Structure 1
Amino acid sequence: MIPFNKPFLTGKEAHYMYQAVYTGKLSGNGAFTKKCQRYFEEKYGFKKCLLTTSCTDALEMCAILCDLKPEDEVIVPSYTFVSSALAFVRQGARIVFADSMANNPNIDAEKLESLITDKTKVIVPVHYAGVACDMDKIMDIANKYNILVVEDAAQAIDSYYKGRALGTIGHLSAFSFHETKNIIAGEGGLLGINDERFIRRSEVIWEKGTNRSEFFRGEVNKYGWCDTGSSFLPSEVIAAFLWAQLENLDMIQHKRKELWNYYFNGLQALSKEGFFRLPQISKYATNNAHMFYIVCRSLDERSVLIKYLKDHSVSAVFHYLSLHKSDYYKTNYVEIPDLPQCDLYADCLVRLPMFYELQSEDVEIVVKLISTFYKSRD
């Protein structure tokens, strides 16, 4: 069986976790936490980074930092994971869903301005598959209307837009280290802060609404409750696991990009014959090889293809359902928007196996199966 995903271990995870355990400092914000945060700040240029227990937690911190009031509007692509919207719903915001691009699942920046009202407070671009949204366009619109931008960079570690690391362009950003991501910690996330006005408050929110971080740095002689917040920081065990992964980021990325290119080159001829669409990487974006997907011609075709691959011991899966068609949205919102590109990806996109230990021979097997499937149908 060729699985869809298999978590990769570098070999140092247990060693660093052992170190964390025997330092006697197991709660959050210890040595490994600081090393991981400093890694992102120095390598990518964030003003401040804070590890979290998940990307969802990082997004919830973003929503708190945006100081949303009831009925404030937040623009989110409908083709995304529920956390992209849920984090802001929990702060009382009204979600306005945006459509995807015709050639890419990312938010269609050309249509954003038409969604803006005097209640719009935040835009949440999601860098699907680690490929950049059109951030210049999005930031120009945000600056024009004095709107905050929160990058959902869950899938976008080590990916760039015009030479700038994803997550460093908007005011705030969130990353994921879930076991399906390029760099993993089982669960885990990161809040990226690019606007200095959010730095102090983010630490308070991170530490359960207290100025505990300032106390441990010796900046105040006591700490107490001074804002809202929660227990967002992960334990040192999680940070230690993550550090072993970050040490090997370049090696992991190199292998994943090789596998992605095997897929692309192997399937290109079939795509040119019109059987399906391959991912398109915009000129302004890099590819971090988070996933490889194809876009089938119909929902029925996708369903049959997934079953065919499963019958031949290959696990391929579809991805997001349209959030604007979810039970929650239909129950709580009167108007259901028409978002045809989002629905296209929800119905037709299928993800192929992609993980570090996948071999080129495995990719060749998957490519040959897909070729046989389409040639027999044709």
Structure 2
Amino acid sequence: MTAWAEELRLVDHHCHSVVTDELDAAAFGALLTEAPAPAGDPWDSMLGLAVRRECAPVLDLPRHAPPADYLARRRELGAPVATRRLLAATGSDALLVDHGLRAADLLGLDGLSTAAGAPVAEVVRLEAVAEDVARSGVRPADYADALVEELARRTAGAVACKSILAYRHGFDVPPGRPAPAEVAAAAAEWSRTGGRLADPVLLRHALWCGVDRGLPVQLHTGFGDPDEDLHRANPVLLTDFCRATAGTGTPIVLLHCYPYHREAAWLAQVFPHVWFDVGLASTYVGHRAAEVLAEALELAPFGRLLYSSDAFGLPELYLVAARAFRRAAARVLGGWVAEDQAAEDEVRRIAAMIAGGNARALYRVP
């Protein structure tokens, strides 16, 4: 890896916190996959190889140490020490954290900041706020206004909102803002049935409430766990929504995107308010991360691509993602220099933009 890639400082614009408990082999393995019940040995994967390659030396083991040795050393050090070492090795200047998933099982935001040695800012999950409002006992007729008020309160110190529409329904919904009567009727039905928020009208209402806040709105797209239908998480299905939000001034940020990262790159190319990343994918595809990054850069303006890990639960995922990004940047952008497609100072500038500069500007991170 070239020196300039190793020195890149990262702003991880979308990630989650890490578990605090000591993990046995089964619990650790479960966090190595998006599958809730992994088949076979989860170490037998690109990610399993990457953890042994990238993380073992940080815990004083040789590269490619066997899984049993890795887990034994992790337990010997203890989870807090392992977490601090692994997060420090990422070279991150800031973490923007969605803490709306299993928050009780994870390190709090202040604790994560201390462990990482970097500032942490919150990304507020829209569906979590909507469900809290519904549980508060608000009347269906008052639900729409109550969500607006609660979201304003919850995002007062946040840097972004996030929607998991892809998980709860899919992007094949009308792109416009639902009418107040539609929202009231859907809220009345939800009050009778309960459960998690899955009604497409209420999901659209929550999404548009996020747009109205004016903060960047992140949307999970593409690869994820089995809760979603992958073909309904293709970001190209958001084209009409991008048209509808073009005049609002609110940035739309497409997360992960793989295997639809070329579609996301097109959206970022044609809509000035759209950004995207290929996080999560770079963690899971191993040495193929360079190909994913190269494909993302085929169309995308360099100022619209962001770095993220989407790490959840394991601090190892932060480090694997960081190393995969730096290696991919060195291969792809360094290749441009080798082929005389760009000067070295230009690729250094572009790499720094993607690593953190674009996120600093978008989210106003100091």
Whether the TM-score (by the shorter chain) exceeds 0.5 is no
Q: TM-score, normalised by structure 2?
A: 0.28
